[in-house]
Amino acid sequence: MQSDKKVRHVRDTAYTEGEIEEIFRRFSVERPNPQSDLKYTNPYTLLVAVVLSAQVTDAGVNKATKPLFEIADTPEKMVALGEEELGRYIRTIGLWRNKAKNIITLSQILIRNNHGQVPDSREALMELPGVGQKTANVILNIAFHQLTMAVDTHIFRLANRLKLATGKTPEKVEKKLLQIIPSHYLLHAHHWLILHGRYICKARKSECQNCIISDLCKVAIKTNKLS
């Protein structure tokens, strides 16, 4: 017999607590130690990579940052490189001019205000140019192992599509996910959701036949069942 906790439904989600627990248990078995697709060597290069990744694929960012980080992996080295030279490395990335300006400016701020170190608070991170709430949450989660939820386009779409956490804004989806996901899964939860949305529950055509939570999924029509 199931306990009350296992069958209790939660507001703004179509799942019971027990179903949510099982979804993330399966994700944890499938990917015990999920990693970001972005390549980085320290918190600073992670910060730069995430800033560059806005509206760009991780693969595109990695291609540009591989040679860049070989010569500029600290704020001091990046400032010494300069905005114009930085632009030569990231020219293949969308909005590269504005991103180059932001990276040089945020590097100067880190040197001036934080001894060249990336801060471990959301407030301080969001004061840096080019850093919004999603970027700050990524840094806090990956670099500092804080229990944050970075809601990007994949997670926003996935959470609403699966009826896991419905909301009209990323902020509302983030708040709900933080409320419903068991705390012992929160450290890796945003990675699991991103990877699931990127490789399985795709925007155009989901691969439901390869989905490890298909029997729990609340999507009305599974794409692999369509004629």
70 φ, ψ to 5°? -70, -25
Q: Is 58 a catalytic residue?
A: no
- Residue 10, exposed/middle/buried by CB under 10 A (0-12, 13-18, 19+)? middle
Closest CA to 101 of 122, 116, 72, 79: 79
16 forms beta bridges with 9
CB 69 within 8 A of CB 45: yes
User: What is the sign of the dihedral through the CA atoms of 123, 127, 131 and 133?
Assistant: positive
- The SS3 assignment for 21 reads helix
- Using alpha carbons, list the distances in angstroms from residue 1 to 7, 26, 39, 91, 170: 10, 22, 47, 60, 37
DSSP assignments along 50-66, one per residue: HHHTTTS-HHHHHHHHH
Q: Is 152 a catalytic residue?
A: yes
Q: Name the DSSP class of 55.
A: T
Alpha helices in 72-208 (DSSP H): 75-81, 83-89, 96-114, 122-126, 133-144, 153-161, 170-180, 186-199
Q: Name the DSSP class of 145.
A: -
Given 6, 99, 134, 172, which residue is catalytic?
134
Given 6, 99, 152, 215, which residue is catalytic?
152
**Residues labelled catalytic:** 134, 152
